[in-house]
Chains A and B, each alone.
Chain A
Amino acid sequence: MGKSSKDKRDIYYRLAKEQGYRARSAYKLLQINQEFDLFTGVKNIVDLCAAPGSWSQVLSKEFKDKDCKIVAVDLQEMAPLEGVICIQGDITKESTANEIIKHFDKADLVICDGAPDVTGLHDMDEYIQAQLLLAAFNITSHVLKRGGTFLAKIFRGKDMSLLVAQMNTFFKEVYICKPRSSRDSSIESFILCRDYSPPEDYRPTFIDPLLDYKYTTEYVLAPFVACGDINDYDADQTYPTEEGYKFIEPIQPPINPPYKSFLDKRRN
């Protein structure tokens, strides 16, 4: 298979490169926004686990020349973006929360597209993703104002109903969204939580972060919303490459993947 193979099989990969996005996930945020109008009336935004920065890119374009603040947080260094304040920090640390708050009082919207490298053991991957989501929510509970919105990646596996039940206690509305740019065959979805209203006795803390719920026989389901126009490109469809097509290198290849030394060693 040649280089163009992925371009044919993954239209959004091709589009992202053509339109200068750092990753195809940019379309996911655009399509969720299309459905839920996330950005209207929003001033302060936090983008967690932001690298390589495609969601921040969307925000940066959307809020260009508007009076608002965008803070992007990641453990790794991220290439700078116009209008985005980049913080390098760990989302499980209080210092990071404090640094975010320095830039504004409270955020209206917190988004998180972070995911671990999947191992292939589904239970494990789903659990780690759930912990990442809870860590993201934990820091969010420090910085999000009442009535605010939280959007995060979730794996729709066997224990999803636990997270849905848990988010239900903090937010008035919880939806599961699947943008059309996210592959049908992928377990990935997004949990959209609106109208933040934590229980009266809830005190955000970094010392004992939230744990996920226990397994119960209760089965809580959230409404599902497919996002994006039905006439948008189909992530599962194979599109032929048009005439005059040229392969474009990805804008931002992975920075320091864990197998970097391994590759270097193999090359020699």
Chain B
Amino acid sequence: MVKTWCNLTLKSIKSVFIFDSEGKKLLSKYYYPIEPKDAQKLEKNLFDKTRRTNSDIILFDNLVVVYKPVVDLFIYVVGGLDENEIMLVGVLNCFIDACSNLLKNQMEKRSLMDNLDTVLLVLDETIDDGTTNIYQILSVKKFQLMKKIDYKSQITALKFINKDELLVGSGPFLLKINIHTHETKQLKIFEMARILKIKHSKYTVVSGQKSLAILLDFNIIHSFEIDDWIIDFEFGNEIAILTAHNNLQIRDWNGNLISEKKNDSRCMLYSGCVYNNSCFSGTIFNQIIWNEKAFIGHEGVLFSVEYKDGYILSTSDDRTVRLWNVETGDCVVFHGHLGRVWKAIFYNEYVVSISEDASCRVWNRKGDLLTVWEGHGSRNVWSVDVIDGIVATGGGDGGIRLWNLEELKQNRIDDDSQVETIELPNVPKSFGFTKNLEIVDELGNFYSYKDGLKKTFTDSEFKGHSHIVTVNENTIAFNNGLILFQNRKFKLQTETKILQIFGFEFGNDLIIFVSKEKEILCFRINEYIELVGVLSPAVHFQVFEMKYDGKIVVCGSKKGALCCYEFEIQATRKLEIQEYMQIQEFEKPAPIEPCLIARHIHGSDAVTNILLERIGEKYQISTVGRDGLFNSFLFYKSDAKTNLELAVGYTLETIHKTRITKGWLEQIVKVGSTIFLAGFFNARFFIFNQSKNCEMFSVNCNAKRIWKLKIHDELLNHLEFAYFKHKHINYVQKLSDTNFPDMNLVEPYHSLETRACKFVDGLIVSGGEDSILTFHSYKNSLKRVLWCKKHEASIRCLDYQNGLLFTGGSQQELYCWKLDIQNLTCIQIAQALKSDTEARIMDLTVHGDCVVTANSDAFIRLYKFNRGFDLLFETDYHHKCVQKTRLVQHGGLYLYSAATDGKIVKWRVTDKLEFVTEYKVHQSGVKAMDVKVIDNEICVASGGDDNLVSLIIGETIYSGNYHGSSVTGIHLEKGRMISVGIDQRLVEYKINNGIEFVSRTFVDVADISDMDVSGNNIVVVGHGIQLFEQ
């Protein structure tokens, strides 16, 4: 009981001190009796211990000390050992904020000394006789810096602790992720540095830029900053650090320098490796230097150097990986990467390398490429680690993937020894998978293959060119109008040739569609047979693929078109199945005309496979084609006409369009919720996991024409693949029982820079250079919920209004999307005409039916939007690249536009733009603008390339310099303004007859290009995304 009370006491602060940067005491206050001599000693030791380090909390002499450097001051709050450090930090921040407020943000030694009485007062207000005043903490909360909620960016370091847990460096944050449960812990390691290296033994040591931190059990125990960039380090009783200026520094755990060895070669390093206190230095002059020895051969700078057992592994700007024998200097060059190679590591007999080309490659030590793993968007894999055959890669897209090195050989079949050839006495003609592989040969012999060949029967009428179609467990064979099904044969007509047969199973019934030149016949087969429908083919439409779900039929043509029929089976006349039935014996129903035809959905290449799924009242149709595209459409009844060639009453909307391969796509297989796409690239058959966005299996088979695939499970642990080669059937089976974790350990963000973001009804929508429109939910953490690919080039701007999302970007792409948050769908419904595809749409703004774009060809374009974009008016008034546009309603509709000449122009919007006035605000480009009506007056906030933030109220322009670089995001509200810039600072202002600085928060996202604010949430995007709470 006593203990419980002990924890609840508010008498918690033991002392507070302030030192200047020299360690001179400016102020101290003890809330417990202490001898002056002891106090002096404590203060001195404390300062010595903390002056060098970068952390903000230490355990010292049985005390918990939290502290913070502010300009030239060090401020400390000391509590007992069992005190809650968050509480102490709260007190510290509260005190600093309150002081900072009172000292008009001049929180420095001089003004502190000038106002010492006030500061003491604040101290007494905050801490009353050692009891913290919680109300005080709460009341000054609004002056606290922005709270960092979540962050996604390039993954720059990875390290397995064991086969279940992975350490991840994401910006300044260290994550510990369980690769099976995905349970994640997060810890902020550095204030301003990005984690670039992680090493782990009993301790975890993390370095980034000039900072280094030592952790035990995921808690920082030491951290310090040195005077040079840390290239590599080795951790033991001391820490050996190789610096960018090629010095080897030996430091103790507190960061105190013990000795320094200046390497002879005074050359800057990009990379290097410390091994037993000697350095393998990778220089900017293309060499690896080790002691007196230089390893010369690379033709570009060195990006990584690793050493193990007498061998150096290096990677370079020259696109190669090299393996050097240290003794002899012999070198093996690994060619294959298509971009700069960032890193390579040793693993048993393998070398694993990662590159700018977004691939991870596995090689043997002779330099033979064993596999290529792609799955990190279009650029950069930054980090890699391997344990027990599990390779983890971290991408520029912020995603982490796991790859199975153990199954390397099973997933990539290059060797004939992994393929079984089925020996048949005669030449096989066709085959298909049921439970077994069913085969028919040239003599009409039928075989079943499973762990050996079994002849089932022979039918001499199926000599020559027979075909087999399998539907689940059923096999249908056909040959010249003769159809064989479950030992029953019937012949339809002898005159017209059967082109294709498609079969579908519905309960006990088998529905088959027989495609002939002039018609498509549909039969229902059970104990009896009936002709249930006739479809009339579309003009110039050769059916290549067909799907039926009982209500609609979707056909794909040989020339890239899609055609749909509404078709429900009505019973006609049942006939006993007899051999040689003639079509005349059936009552022929009236042919059904197509209800929709869409041409060129796969260019003029064949639509090879269709996936038809019902979603409520609508259908989702996914198609693949020989142009390598994967398309998804929504198909439904409506009364609107679209630009496709179709009968009134149907709509086909594109949801998704991606080019998966430069080769062919041939098949879609959906298992559970996973979509697999199978296809060919050159001579290689591959299976691509569309849901996880990566290739999972491939066979070097050179057999594009006749092949069959059966996938048994979602993880692709079991699959069968059969193909023709040299008049034989080759059979490949992959059967593994490993419990390999989910390949997508962390979902990616954008693979390249994000250019625009916006809060939209509980989601964050963003777009960027990777041209993918992405939606994240942001409650507690950022989670990708939806992504759409339609833009060909980069997305630069977006705006939202009443369920309609507008996006614009390079190549003058301007789209309107219908966003349905409840069902999480976003469908492109309209597209503006292009006048010059070289021009970029820099910004856009929407109000009512009015859409205005800013264009790089100096034009402002005004559109009226009504299910399509009608260009009403355009002007090149600015004569410069127009960068920003904003519409605002204030007794009429007004437009503000801004260009690279730093001018902001106000226009009145009617059916054209009427010039009102212009303001010269910035020296050069206007990179951010927000327009709001505040106190019945239009206010325009802007941020410039000239580092200034400006505010126009009425005719007055206020501006101030608070950023060290271009200001790229700005937000305005009543009494308040927030800006963000390339200098990675988020600045908050009060508006009170001008702009008044309030606070500055460091942002961990580089190359910031946009910001949005919604309620308490702030999102900043650039090379990554960060979410703040204010």
Contacts and interface: CB of A to CB of B under 8 A. Distances in A.
Contact of B317 (A117, A135, A237, A238): A117
A43 interface: no
Given A121-B382, A221-B964, A238-B857, A187 B947 contact: no
A217 B71 contact: yes
B267 A157 contact: no
A184 B927 contact: yes
A122 B927 CA distance: 20
Interface in B743-785: none
Given A221-B947, A230-B901, A262-B319, A187 B1007 contact: yes
A236 B925 contact: yes
Contact of B836 (A117, A131, A160, A240): A240
A258 B838 contact: no
B229 interface: yes
B923 A234 contact: no
Contact of A180 (B856, B924, B962): B924
A219 interface: yes
Contacts of A265: 335
Contact of A5 (B286, B379, B838): B838
A257 to B, nearest CB: 8
Given A157-B965, A237-B858, A209 B245 contact: yes
A219 B192 CA distance: 14
A253 interface: no
A236 B244 contact: no
Given A214-B210, A221-B947, A224-B923, A259 B858 contact: no
Given A127-B209, A157-B984, A238 B396 contact: no
B1006 A211 contact: no
B378 to A, nearest CB: 12
B923 A217 contact: no
Contacts, number: 167
A8 interface: yes
Nearest to B270: A128
B268 interface: yes
A221 B318 contact: no
Contacts of B320: 262
Contacts of A260: 299
Interface residues of B, number: 76
A120 interface: yes
Interface in A74-113: 92
Interface in B843-873: 855-858
Interface string B874-885: 000000110100
Interface in B358-380: 379-380
A215 B209 CA distance: 11
B1007 A122 contact: yes
Nearest to A256: B299
B205 interface: no
B982 interface: yes
Given A9-B838, A121-B382, A127-B209, A238 B856 contact: yes
Contact of A120 (B192, B380, B883, B961): B380
B1023 interface: yes
B857 A237 contact: yes
Contact of B966 (A122, A156, A238): A156
A187 B1006 CA distance: 11
A201 interface: no
Interface string B307-340: 0000000001111100000000000000100001
Contact of A123 (B194, B227, B924): B194
A240 to B, nearest CB: 7
B946 A226 contact: yes
A29 to B, nearest CB: 17
A178 B945 contact: yes
A131 B191 CA distance: 22
Contacts of A116: 284, 301
A237 B319 contact: no
Contacts of A259: 299-300, 317-319
Most buried by B among A158, A230, A258: A158
B69 interface: yes
A225 interface: yes
Contact of A215 (B191, B268, B382): B191
Interface in A201-256: 206, 209, 211, 214-219, 221, 223-226, 230, 234-240, 256
A261 interface: yes
11 contacts: A121-B194, A157-B982, A160-B983, A161-B964, A178-B924, A187-B965, A215-B191, A225-B923, A234-B858, A234-B901, A236-B900
Given A8-B838, A123-B209, 9 more contacts: A121-B194, A122-B1023, A127-B244, A131-B229, A156-B982, A217-B69, A224-B947, A258-B317, A259-B300
Q: Which 6 pairs from chain A and chain B are nearest by CB?
A: A258-B300, A122-B1006, A226-B923, A226-B924, A156-B965, A237-B881
Interface of B: 69-71, 154, 156, 191-194, 209-210, 225, 227-229, 244-245, 266-268, 270, 284, 286, 299-301, 303, 316-320, 335, 340, 356, 379-380, 382, 396, 836, 838-840, 855-858, 880-881, 883, 900-902, 923-925, 927, 945-948, 961-966, 982-985, 1000, 1002, 1006-1007, 1023
